Amino acid sequence: MRRKDGTGLVRNELRLLLTAADLRLAGSDHFHGYDLARHLAAAEDAASIMSQPTLYRALRRLEERGALTSEWESLQDAAASGREGRPRRYYRLTSAGTQLAQTELQERQLQWTHGKLIPQPNTA
Amino acid sequence: MNSQTNRNLPPSVRFAHHINRVLSWGMQSQQRQTFLVETLTDWEEMHRDRGSQGVTVRALRGIPAAVWARFDEDNITALPASLAIALVGLAALGAGLLDSTYPVAVRRFIILAALGTFILGAILMSNPRRIVIRRYRLPTLMLAAGFLGMATHMPEHTEWQYDTPFVDTVIADVFMIVGFAVVGIGFSMIFAASFLAKPRVLAMVAGILIMMGTASFAGGQIAWGIAAVATDPAITATSIGVGLASLSFLHVLPRLRHLELT
């Protein structure tokens, strides 16, 4: 239920963080929630997209940890995009978030390949 | 920011948004507004991607995730819990007042417990972020007396006014008696805890007992209601209603542990 303070990321949070890093590498510096979920599903070749409660809960937690920052677009920009009064919220990956993702991968001995978290190959 | 839909949006988007409105009910208002605005724009974009079916499927698929997520909300309110409690009280009051159904002795205890439940829910609704335990002395005393009275005055199925007993099993009786007794003891403990300087531990133990007793009570009520289908639809409707309301109470009761207790 309630997570203890100081615990690491849950799997979904790590996947989202790594997807955000991929998006930044691809040149998308900021993204909205659905964007992130859609890219994650595409990377995993999954038919279904992460559900909204799971997605936004994870994004909120990542923001609380400082791994992401967010800002709302202006109402004028929203209106120009045909979303009168419904601005989008855009997220950015922080350097702390990048570091956190790398730390989590190392500690869990995982690697991120083609949108999947897989164990690192054993090195003798 | 506007989290309201309009007729220009596709029906599936409006449907998905309404699901989110229900699922987010009881969230802190700022957080809820943010969630609804973000997700509404998501639904619009998803509709462009995947059409109405995609939106609808994802909306329905989000229901279990949302229910699970609500158990772990950091900024929860106990408003749904309060309302569930108050509704249980109202439903039970209706049951107690059905004069053609319950023997008089147990009916008084039903009314006492129902009123106590309703008052408890009303007090909790007035301040859903904090439990000041001494404010709950009266309703918890009523609930303790009501449930213990029901446990000790529960009529056996042969005492009902009908010519043929419609509950030919003691299982439903035992479930309900045990449930009433355990819940009554739980509320007695909360009443006692309200006099302590540090009530939390006793209140938590009492809460667990109340959950166990409620589960037993809910099962018994639903079984009772099903058994009465052929005999008295009023009992069926009331008992199943009370049983489902009690399950709802059971579902939200764990959330109360997040509240500040003084």
Q: What is the mean pLDDT of the segment spanning B94-113?
A: 74
What integer pLDDT is reported at residue B139 of this predicted model?
93
Q: What is the mean pLDDT of the segment spanning B206-213?
A: 87
**A chain contacts of residue B57, beta-carbon cutoff 8 Å:** 48
pLDDT above 80 for B71: no
**A chain contacts of residue B71, beta-carbon cutoff 8 Å:** 1
Least confident residue range of B21-25, B97-101, B206-210, B251-255: B97-101
pLDDT above 60 for A57: yes
Least confident residue range of A103-117, B95-109, B176-190, B214-228: B95-109
Q: Does A87 touch chain B (CB under 8 A)?
A: yes
A5 by DSSP, 3-state: which?
coil
Q: Work out the number of other CB atoms within 10 angstroms of the CB of residue A9.
A: 20
pTM for the complete prediction? 0.52
What proportion of chain B, given as a percentage, has pLDDT over 70?
73
Q: Work out the number of other CB atoms within 10 angstroms of the CB of residue B219.
A: 18
Work out how many CB contacts closer than 8 A connect A with B: 68
Per-residue pLDDT band for B80 (boundaries 50, 70, 90) equals low
What integer pLDDT is reported at residue A109 of this predicted model?
82
Least confident residue range of A3-7, A19-23, B45-49, B201-205: A3-7
pLDDT above 60 for A3: no
What integer pLDDT is reported at residue B171 of this predicted model?
55
**B chain contacts of residue A2, beta-carbon cutoff 8 Å:** 72, 258
Per-residue pLDDT band for B260 (boundaries 50, 70, 90) equals low
Answer yes or no: do B46 and A53 touch at CB < 8 A: no
B64 to chain A: nearest residue by CA? A53
* Amino acid present at B213: G
Query: How far apart are the C-alpha atoms of B92 and B246, rounded to whole Å?
Result: 10
What integer pLDDT is reported at residue B106 of this predicted model?
80
What integer pLDDT is reported at residue A67 of this predicted model?
93
Of A28, A117, A21, which is closest to residue A68 (Cα–Cα)? A21
pLDDT of B156-188, one tens digit each?
A: 656 655 544 444 555 556 777 888 899 999 999
